[in-house]
Structure 1
Amino acid sequence: MSSEGVDEPGWDVSPEDEIAPVVESTGRQVRLWREAAGMRVVDFGRAIGYGEDLVRKVERGARIPRADFLDRADEVLNAGGHLRAFKEDMEKARYPKKVRELKMLEERAVELLMYGNHNIHGLLQTPEYSQALFETQQPALSRDEVERGVAARAARKTIFDRSPAPALSFIQEEVTLCRPIGGRMVLRRQLEHLLEVGKLRNVSLQVMPTEREDHAGMHGLIQVLKFGDGTAVGRSDGAFNGRPVSDPKDLRILELRYGMIRAQALTPRESLAFIERALGET
């Protein structure tokens, strides 16, 4: 998936994944404990409240089991905590590597600058909007991939619950607020959510009108994350070949562009009024 499509670029801060072997190993342990208990797949699935097909997928490593699956399996199979012990690994495996990397950075950040010119930023999306957006991907994603993407995006929203709260600045192109991804009702709920988030004291939400003649954001998406130790990391589709950068000189270029975009966009107050009008027209 492209970063423009899902606004989750790879930040290259962790080693290569070893997810598949861990998932396969977990599934194999579930099967061994089930067989040791003398339970058929269909009976085991019924006992833990999951379908036979999903159980078979978990056992062959084709589906990542959720925490409640492992909890129920551990209890029903009297595994003594051996299956529950896989929950942390499975939570890590549930989300794509680049999403885990981005979440790690967002959890450290004290300030985020984010300009989106194609889609509403992932941190601002409702689950319905996220699902509809993933479903537009081509080649088409599987149901499991869509569910995994939506869950990963939801997991990142813990940033809004942090204390002390980070300073969050979002700038969205007008078109991202008008395109009815998922249909009119999905868009309405998305706009209502933006109004709620935009009123948070640590959030600055601005709209870049399409009619604006001067526009410093023609090179595409910009993201800058600043940390408490004075370091930062940033990325833009139109700079440094789309690679993440941390050199102060490179970051200065991204911050300069972002500052110009922010000055050219509507003010936060004007932007909330704009979103309210868009909601009334939807």
Structure 2
Amino acid sequence: MRLKFYGFLLLALGLTTQTVSAIPKLPVPLKNLEIAGQVLQDGKPVANAMVNAYFYNCDNALQTSTTSNANGYYRLIIPSYPRVIYASCPEPCSPQPMPPEAVLELKKLKLAIPPNGINGYYSVPIFLSTHSLTNPTTTLCQQALKGGLETPLKNRFNLKLDGVPATASIPSTQAPIPPKPPVKPSEQQKCQAQGGQWEFISRGVKGCNLSYKDAGRTCTDGKQCSSGVCLAKERNPRASEGQCAASTFAIINGCLGEIKRGHWHSRACP
């Protein structure tokens, strides 16, 4: 009896270890990541140049900034750098059932979207933008680090302003000043204009979470729902009816199945 008991115990521990190791935890972020270098223009140092750091691209939130010294040298310290993120979405990712808001968000993070779906870790690249204080109208954005688990704590990267005029050009008083182009609303602003909430719609991914008025209504096909998705109430291959999806979050994370033309279809869990 004792041998059987210990045998079952070892088997249970083995299964638990496999389950835990299947999706490893995200690594601890690097503290005080350093990027240092020199701002150059045609091989000459540029003093008092503004240097900003961003994750993924220069349109995202500013992480930290500094100004180059008299010899063009700068030094940036990012307090916390995640190195990698975990992104996932139901299979298949294209073209359905992944909503366009989630696709746009993943593209914004510069993550490739393979046809069989996403489920893994992705590096967090770091971009630096710079411009001379004497010519703030022209800003250059350059990728400084590819990111990933092998990112060192201290890094060096030189920023180049080659081809950028040292000072901003002064328009002629006789020439008319063209009007500024209208500011394009961000994806978050578009989402809020539609009545959606900008929040996490999947693990590690933010997007537009829209709510649908016909949520929970009995359906036999997605064409009967404003969301375009008829979710199954239970994982039952014989089910012929479901209910209209309540939100974008429910569409992405619902894994009980989907009803199409009165037949149950399986869905992968994110």
Give the structure-2-normalised TM-score. Answer: 0.23
Larger helix proportion, structure 1 or 2? 1
Larger strand proportion, structure 1 or 2? 2
Give the structure-1-normalised TM-score. Answer: 0.22
Q: Please tell me whether Structure 1 or Structure 2 has the larger radius of gyration of its CA atoms.
A: 2
